[in-house]
Amino acid sequence: MKRKQLVLLIVGILGITGLGAQNLQEGIDDLYKQRFKSAKAVFEKMIAANPNNLDAIYWMGQTLIQTEDIAGAKALYEKTLGTNGNAPMILVGMGHAELYDQSKTNEARQRFETALTMTTNKKKGNDPEILNAIGRANTDAKYGDLPYAIERLKEAVSKESKNPDIFLNLGNAFRKAFPGQAGGEAYQAYQNAVKLNAKFAIGHYRTAKLFETQKNWIVWSEHMNNAVDADPTFAPAYYDLYYYFLGTGNYDRAEEYAQKFQQNADPDINNSYFKVQTHYAKKEFDEAIADAKAMINAGDPEMKAKVYKMIAYSLVGKGDTVGAKEYVDTYFAKEKVENHISEDYKLKALVYLNIPGQEEQAFNAILEGVKLDTSIQGKIASLKEGADVFKKAKNRCKAAELYYEAYKLTPAPNQRDVFDPGLEYYFCGNYPKAIEMFGKYAENWPEETYGWQWKYNAERASDTAMVMGDFAKTGVKLLEVLYKDSVK
């Protein structure tokens, strides 16, 4: 009888353990699929059943971090360490949360190393699970140490080469450390992940994202579709596919993927944004505004601030830039600074430039947006776009300043790069700067007439009393170049 009871007890324990592991993986899968509410529900249920379930607590903290609730994650890990001071995964989780505070990076490193010391095996060395968690933390967090992450993740791979999650985190670390290298080590790491588990949708998804920055849409599409083939419930891929087809003008396909996203994502007020976005892309501005205002009127605190931005874009599309100001201002007031993108400031500049007396704010908005561009070419393009806007508004002085900033950033300026700021300075009345730029033009392309012609014009304009006589020398040089042209 006792033996039978013992067998039943063991079977019961094994069943509970298996169920717990299954639930944990379910929550992790939800987290990777960005179903954050579902993931939290899974982990909360597990913690309620067993407040000392350290795995569930660790992943609950990871979910809070991914939803930008760093304070909540830190509080959870601190509370757990208060009663479980020797929990290595919780130490790593706490270090992860601390890496969002630049003043806590040393404390975080100490926690990581302590966790490793606590789990080191004399024969096998460091625990690959802890190494993986450390790599994840340093890759994800704002002030993480990427070389350290790569070092620890490579070590994890050397000890456990059959875990696709380690390769996923290693790929993420390489991608963040060396952006723009689609064919490099990040790609290889992600491919190793999906070779180990062909159904590992996030591995395919991350591979696709490598090619997004290169705008290699053929390869991007291949890997993005691999993600949904691997797991038809993987919502992030449907989200990206929606925006891809929206950008190509294939609105039917875009709406198809929007529906698939909503079917596989957590219920959320922000899912209604797809309709708003599609209306805007179709230039159905009134419909976009109506649907966006309906989202606002719902009063859901989880609604994202970008809804206000879309109303502003739609009003600009209708030609009502003055009316758009209210929504631009609301967007900037509600959205976190770290979530602003360069396009936000271009929108602000466009709106403010059409309001009398707001020209300086518009100019500063362009400069703020340029700071957020991650590449030199992006910064140059943004400055030139801003200059074009000011030029169109007949504000030649601000246009000149922006063209000049673009010129300074350009590694090898061409004729247009030098000429444009010079011309705007000339029409602005800043003749010394115009002379400077046209002088550079004449110096670099001495056989061209444009530099000499406009340098002469600027010198004449600046020497109204005709006492300096610089224009005479430039005029002689201009005639020499013109003569050579006529002889040709």
Tell me phi and psi for residue 261, to 5 degrees: -60, -50
219 in helix, strand or coil?
helix
Domain match, 426 and 469 both: yes
Domain match, 376 and 394 both: yes
Cβ neighbour number for residue 125 with a 10 Å cutoff: 14
Domain match, 430 and 402 both: no
Q: Once rounded to an integer, what is the mean pLDDT over residues 461-471? A: 68
Domain match, 392 and 428 both: no
> Is the pLDDT confidence value at 14 over 50?
no
| Cβ contact 342:373 at 8 Å | yes
Q: What is the pLDDT of residue 1?
A: 41
Note whether residue 229 is domain-resident: no
Q: What is the pLDDT of residue 488?
A: 52
What is the band of 26 on the pLDDT scale with cuts at 50, 70, 90? very high
What is the band of 219 on the pLDDT scale with cuts at 50, 70, 90? very high
Q: Is 164 exposed, middle or buried (0-12, 13-18, 19+ CB in 10 A)?
A: buried
Choose between 445 and 13: higher pLDDT.
Answer: 445
Domain match, 398 and 445 both: no
Q: What is the pLDDT of residue 11?
A: 39
Please state, in angstroms and rounded to a whole number, the distance separating the CA atoms of residues 370 and 378: 8
Interaxial angle between packed helices 273-281 and 251-264, expressed in degrees from 0 to 180 and rounded to the nearest 10: 170
Domain match, 402 and 459 both: no
What is the band of 182 on the pLDDT scale with cuts at 50, 70, 90? low
301-319 confidence digits (pLDDT tens): 999 999 999 999 999 999 9
Instruction: Compute the chain's Rg from CA coordinates.
Output: 30
DSSP string, 316-382: HHTT-HHHHHHHHHHHHHHS-GGG--HHHHHHHHHHHHTSTT-HHHHHHHHHHHHHH--SHHHHHHH
> String of b and e for 385-401 (b: at least 16 CB within 10 Å)?
bbbebbbeeebbbbbbb
Bridge partners, 121 (sequence order): 125
Q: What is the pLDDT of residue 62?
A: 98
Domain match, 430 and 390 both: no
Among all chains, which residue has been given the structure tokens 């007439």? Answer: 449
329-387 confidence digits (pLDDT tens): 999 999 999 899 999 999 999 999 989 999 999 999 999 999 998 889 999 999 999 99
Q: Fill in the amino acid letter for 413.
A: P
Q: Is 460 exposed, middle or buried (0-12, 13-18, 19+ CB in 10 A)?
A: middle
Note whether residue 223 is domain-resident: no
Sign of the C-alpha dihedral computed for residues 189, 194, 200 and 201 taken in this order = positive
198-215 confidence digits (pLDDT tens): 999 999 999 999 999 888
Bridge partners, 125 (sequence order): 121
Note whether residue 190 is domain-resident: no
* DSSP letter (8 states) at residue 127: -
* 33 closest CA partner among 193, 365, 260: 260
What is the band of 179 on the pLDDT scale with cuts at 50, 70, 90? confident
What is the domain extent for residue 449? 418-488
What pTM value is reported for the model? 0.81
Q: Which contacts (CB < 8 Å, 24+ apart) does range 235-239 have?
A: 235/33, 235/34, 235/35, 235/260, 235/261, 235/264, 235/265, 236/33, 236/34, 236/202, 236/205, 237/201, 237/204, 237/205, 237/208, 238/264, 239/265
Domain match, 347 and 394 both: yes
Q: What is the pLDDT of residue 462?
A: 86
Q: What is the pLDDT of residue 10?
A: 39
What token pair was written down for 88? 């290595």
| Cβ contact 397:434 at 8 Å | no
390-440 confidence digits (pLDDT tens): 999 999 999 999 999 999 999 999 999 999 999 999 999 999 999 999 999
* 295 closest CA partner among 313, 315, 275: 275
Q: What is the pLDDT of residue 470?
A: 66
* Final residue in a domain of this structure, among 97, 119, 141: 119
Q: Once rounded to an integer, what is the mean pLDDT over residues 58-66? A: 98
235-250 confidence digits (pLDDT tens): 999 999 999 999 999 9
Q: What is the pLDDT of residue 452?
A: 85
**Helix (H) and strand (E) counts for the chain?**
26, 0
For the chain, what is the mean pLDDT?
91
Chain centre to alpha carbon of residue 402: 25
Domain match, 49 and 115 both: yes
> String of b and e for 66-99 (b: at least 16 CB within 10 Å)?
ebebbebbbebbeebbeeeeebbbbbbbbbbbbb
Q: Structural domain tally of the chain?
A: 3
Q: What is the pLDDT of residue 3?
A: 45
> Is the pLDDT confidence value at 118 over 80?
yes
* Final residue in a domain of this structure, among 358, 376, 411: 411
User: Range with the lowest mean pLDDT among 11-25, 318-332, 381-395?
Assistant: 11-25
Share of the chain above pLDDT 90, in %: 82
Domain match, 367 and 428 both: no
Please state, in angstroms and rounded to a whole number, the distance separating the CA atoms of residues 135 and 154: 9
Q: What is the pLDDT of residue 16?
A: 41
> Is the pLDDT confidence value at 469 over 80?
no
Q: 471 vs 454, 466, 476, 480, CA distance in Å? A: 10, 9, 9, 14
Please state, in angstroms and rounded to a whole number, the distance separating the CA atoms of residues 57 and 47: 7
CATH of the domain at 345: 1.25.40
Note whether residue 188 is domain-resident: no
Domain match, 30 and 97 both: yes
What is the band of 2 on the pLDDT scale with cuts at 50, 70, 90? very low
DSSP string, 44-58: HHHHHH-TT-HHHHH
* Final residue in a domain of this structure, among 67, 88, 119: 119
Please state, in angstroms and rounded to a whole number, the distance separating the CA atoms of residues 425 and 9: 87
Note whether residue 273 is domain-resident: no
CATH of the domain at 38: 1.25.40.10
Note whether residue 66 is domain-resident: yes
User: Range with the lowest mean pLDDT among 124-128, 134-138, 190-194?
Assistant: 124-128
Note whether residue 270 is domain-resident: no
What is the band of 5 on the pLDDT scale with cuts at 50, 70, 90? very low
What token pair was written down for 218? 């053929």
Among all chains, which residue has been given the structure tokens 């079917």? Answer: 263
* 117 closest CA partner among 95, 140, 146, 86: 86
* DSSP letter (8 states) at residue 101: S
Domain match, 28 and 114 both: yes
Note whether residue 81 is domain-resident: yes
What is the band of 467 on the pLDDT scale with cuts at 50, 70, 90? low
